[in-house]
C-alpha cells in the first residue's frame, strides 16, 4: 500500500512509550470499520494524515453483516463517501448502479470490503477497544492534559497511543431493552439468556426461519423495524403474531396510506393495517412491558400501564424492535459533554431531537457540534446521535469530512458543512416509484435505516419518514 493513500506508517506497539510532547507524531485512531469509520479513514488518507482503524469484529462492517439480508432505504448514490469514492476509483474500482438500493451484504461486498482492502494494514480487525484515557491522566487531572497522547486499551490488554480519536463504533451492540420505562422488564435478563428474545431484524424468511415458523411470536415496537419483521412473519404459515405497542393506536406506524407524501411508506402502512384488520396480526395497544417469565405454556409477557392496569400475552419468541442507545463507557475517563436526554453532544442535541425533527429536517453539522471538552476526541456516525433515530448515512459522511478537515487544521473546510439530499431526504417519491419497478415490495425499519425485500405479490417500495434515515 502506498504512502500517498494512507499516510506514513507509525509503530503502534503497546510497549512504545512517548512523552506528552510527542503526541503530535502519533496517528489518529478511528474506532469502528463501518461506513462512517472507513469514510473518516478515507479522508485521513486523502489528507496524508497517519491513522489506524481498529474494528472489534472479524470483518469490516461487522454490525451491517448482522442484517446483511436487509435492503437499505438509500440508493448507492448516497451510500458512498466522496473521499472513499475518489480513492477507490483511482485504484480502478467501478461504482455500483447509483440508483440501486443495496442490501447490507452488498454494501459490504461492493464498497466497504474493497475500501478496507485498499487501506490495507491501516485497518486492524479483531481489535476491540475496552477503555480510553489520556496517558498519565485520569479525568480529574487538568494541567498539561491537552498535550498528553490518548491511551487506548484493547480487550486483549495491549495498548495504543493516538494524537486524536474518532469514535465511529455505532450502537448496534447496545439495543434498548424490552421494558417500557427504559429499564429491563422484570425477568428480561433470564429470558434473554435462554435466547428467547431477538432484537431488530432477524432473518425471518431466511436463516432464522426455523426459529420462527410455527411459533407464537410477539413483536414489540412501533417503528419500521417492527413493521418489517411483522410483514415478514405474516408470510410464514401457522405462525401466530402479536404486535405490542405503547401508543393508544398504530396511526404513526401506518402513516398516511394512499394519501402519504411518500407512496412507499404509505404502502407499508396500508399492508400492515390490512394484516391487523384481517386478524392475521393481533395488535395490543397501550402495552407497557413490565415483566416476563417462563411458564409451561411459553413466555408470559405482562404489561402494566401508568394507571396500574395489567394485560398479558404468551409467546414462544419475542422480537424487541425497540431501538438502540449509545454506550459511552469506554470513554469514562474522558471529559465528555453529553446531552442528558439523547446522549449526543449537547450542541448537537437540538438539531436531531426526534420530538422536533425527522431525518429530512436535520441540518448539516460538523466538527463544531461534535466537539467535547476533551480536545481531539470526536464521535461520528449513528453513535453521535445517541438515542435519536434521525441519522442519515450521508450525514455521517459529512461529519467525517468535517472532523478530519479540523484535524488537518483546515478550519475553513471543517466549518463549511453541507448536505446534498433530495427534498424529502434520500427517499423521494420519485426514487420510490423507480425502485418499485426494480425490486418490488420492500419494507422499512425504525429510523429509516433499512428495508428488506418481501414476496413480490404486491408491488411497491417502502421508504421511511424523511427518507433513508439511517441508510
The verdict on 10 and 159 lying in the same domain is yes
The verdict on 193 and 163 lying in the same domain is no
The verdict on 237 and 377 lying in the same domain is no
In a domain, 138, yes or no: yes
Q: Which of 391, 415, 439 is the last residue of a domain?
A: 415
The verdict on 147 and 83 lying in the same domain is yes
The verdict on 40 and 147 lying in the same domain is yes
The verdict on 77 and 142 lying in the same domain is yes
Strands 28-31 and 164-167, bridge-based pairing: parallel
Strands 450-453 and 71-72, bridge-based pairing: antiparallel
92-101 in b/e burial notation, b at 16+ Cβ within 10 A? Answer: ebeebeeebb
Q: How far apart are CA 177 and CA 385, in angstroms?
A: 18
Q: How far apart are CA 367 and CA 108, in angstroms?
A: 27
The verdict on 151 and 273 lying in the same domain is no
The verdict on 308 and 197 lying in the same domain is yes
Contact partners, residue 423, CB within 8 Å, separation at least 6: 360
In a domain, 434, yes or no: no
The verdict on 164 and 234 lying in the same domain is no
pLDDT at 14: 36
CATH number of the domain to which 106 belongs: 3.50.50.60
Q: Which of 375, 395, 415 is the last residue of a domain?
A: 415
- Report pLDDT digits (tens) over 389-434: 888 889 999 999 999 999 999 999 999 999 876 544 443 333 333 3
The verdict on 211 and 88 lying in the same domain is no
DSSP one-letter code for 322: -
Long-range Cβ contacts of 149-157 (<8 Å, 24+ apart)? 149/18, 149/20, 149/22, 149/23, 149/26, 150/29, 150/376, 150/377, 152/29, 152/54, 153/129, 154/54, 154/127, 154/128, 154/129, 154/130, 155/56, 155/128, 155/129, 155/130
In a domain, 96, yes or no: yes
The verdict on 67 and 167 lying in the same domain is yes
Q: Where are any strands of DSSP class E within 41-128?
A: 51-54, 71-72, 123-124
Q: How far apart are CA 200 and CA 149, in angstroms?
A: 38
Strands 123-124 and 310-315, bridge-based pairing: unpaired
pLDDT tens-digit profile, the chain (471 residues): 444 455 443 433 333 334 444 677 999 999 999 999 999 999 999 999 999 999 999 999 999 999 999 887 778 998 999 999 999 999 999 999 998 989 999 999 999 999 999 999 999 999 999 999 999 999 999 999 999 999 999 999 999 999 999 999 999 999 999 999 999 999 999 999 999 999 989 999 999 999 999 999 999 999 878 988 999 999 999 999 999 999 999 988 887 666 654 445 556 788 899 999 999 999 999 999 999 999 999 999 999 999 999 999 999 999 999 999 999 999 999 999 999 999 999 999 999 998 888 777 888 999 999 999 999 999 999 999 999 988 888 999 999 999 999 999 999 999 999 987 654 444 333 333 334 333 332 323 223 333 333 322 222 222 222 223 333
- Report pLDDT digits (tens) over 293-321: 999 999 999 999 999 999 999 999 999 99
Burial class from Cβ neighbours inside 10 Å (0-12, 13-18, 19+) for residue 248 reads exposed
Span between the terminal Cα atoms of the chain, in Å: 30
Q: How many residues does the chain have?
A: 471
In a domain, 40, yes or no: yes
Number of domains making up the chain: 2
Is residue 406 within 8 A of residue 240, CB to CB? The reply is no
The verdict on 316 and 335 lying in the same domain is no
Domain that holds residue 387: 3-173+324-415
pTM comes to: 0.84
Q: How many CB atoms lie within 10 A of CB 210?
A: 8
Amino acid at each position: 500500500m502506498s504512502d500517498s493513500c494512507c499516510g506514513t506508517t507509525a509503530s503502534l506497539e503497546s510497549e512504545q512509550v512517548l512523552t506528552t510532547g510527542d503526541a503530535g507524531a502519533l496517528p489518529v485512531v478511528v474506532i469502528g470499520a463501518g461506513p462512517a469509520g472507513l469514510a473518516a479513514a478515507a479522508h485521513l488518507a486523502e489528507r496524508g494524515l497517519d491513522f489506524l482503524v481498529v474494528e472489534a469484529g472479524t470483518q469490516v462492517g461487522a454490525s451491517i453483516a448482522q442484517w446483511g439480508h436487509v435492503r437499505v432505504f438509500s440508493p448507492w448514490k448516497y451510500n458512498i463517501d466522496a473521499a472513499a469514492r475518489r480513492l477507490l476509483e483511482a485504484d480502478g474500482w467501478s461504482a455500483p448502479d447509483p440508483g440501486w438500493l443495496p442490501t447490507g451484504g452488498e454494501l459490504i461486498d461492493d464498497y466497504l470490503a474493497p475500501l478496507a482492502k485498499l487501506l490495507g494494514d491501516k485497518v486492524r480487525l479483531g481489535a476491540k477497544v475496552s477503555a480510553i484515557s489520556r496517558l498519565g491522566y485520569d479525568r480529574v487531572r487538568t494541567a498539561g492534559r491537552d498535550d498528553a497522547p490518548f491511551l487506548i486499551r484493547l480487550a486483549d490488554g495491549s495498548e495504543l497511543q493516538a494524537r486524536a480519536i474518532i469514535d465511529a463504533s455505532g450502537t448496534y451492540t447496545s439495543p434498548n431493552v424490552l421494558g417500557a420505562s427504559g429499564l429491563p422488564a422484570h425477568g428480561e435478563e433470564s429470558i434473554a439468556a435462554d435466547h428467547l428474545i431477538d432484537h431488530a431484524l432477524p432473518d425471518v424468511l431466511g436463516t432464522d426461519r426455523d426459529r420462527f415458523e410455527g411459533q407464537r411470536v410477539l413483536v414489540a415496537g412501533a417503528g419500521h423495524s417492527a413493521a418489517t419483521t411483522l410483514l415478514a412473519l405474516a408470510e410464514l404459515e401457522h405462525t401466530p403474531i402479536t404486535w405490542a405497542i405503547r401508543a393508544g393506536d398504530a396511526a404513526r406506524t401506518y402513516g398516511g396510506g394512499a394519501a402519504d407524501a411518500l407512496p412507499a411508506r404509505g404502502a407499508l402502512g396500508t399492508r400492515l393495517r390490512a394484516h391487523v384488520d384481517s386478524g392475521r396480526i393481533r395488535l395490543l395497544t397501550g402495552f407497557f412491558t413490565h415483566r416476563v417469565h417462563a411458564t409451561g405454556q411459553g413466555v408470559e409477557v405482562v404489561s402494566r400501564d401508568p394507571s396500574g392496569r395489567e394485560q398479558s400475552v404468551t409467546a414462544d419468541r419475542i422480537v424487541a424492535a425497540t431501538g438502540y442507545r449509545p454506550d459511552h463507557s469506554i470513554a469514562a475517563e474522558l471529559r465528555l459533554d453529553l446531552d442528558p436526554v439523547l446522549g449526543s453532544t449537547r450542541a448537537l442535541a437540538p438539531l436531531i431531537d426526534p420530538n422536533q425533527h425527522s431525518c429530512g429536517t436535520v441540518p448539516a453539522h460538523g466538527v463544531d457540534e461534535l466537539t467535547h471538552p476533551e480536545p481531539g476526541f470526536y464521535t461520528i456516525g449513528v453513535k453521535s446521535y445517541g438515542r435519536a433515530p434521525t441519522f442519515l448515512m450521508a450525514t455521517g459522511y459529512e461529519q467525517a469530512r468535517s472532523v478530519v478537515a479540523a484535524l488537518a487544521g483546515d478550519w475553513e473546510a471543517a466549518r463549511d458543512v453541507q448536505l446534498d439530499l433530495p427534498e424529502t431526504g434520500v427517499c423521494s417519491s420519485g426514487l420510490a416509484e423507480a425502485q418499485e419497478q426494480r425490486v418490488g415490495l420492500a419494507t422499512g425499519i425504525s429510523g429509516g435505516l433499512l428495508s428488506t425485500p418481501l414476496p413480490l405479490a404486491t408491488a411497491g417500495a417502502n421508504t421511511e419518514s424523511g427518507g433513508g434515515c439511517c441508510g
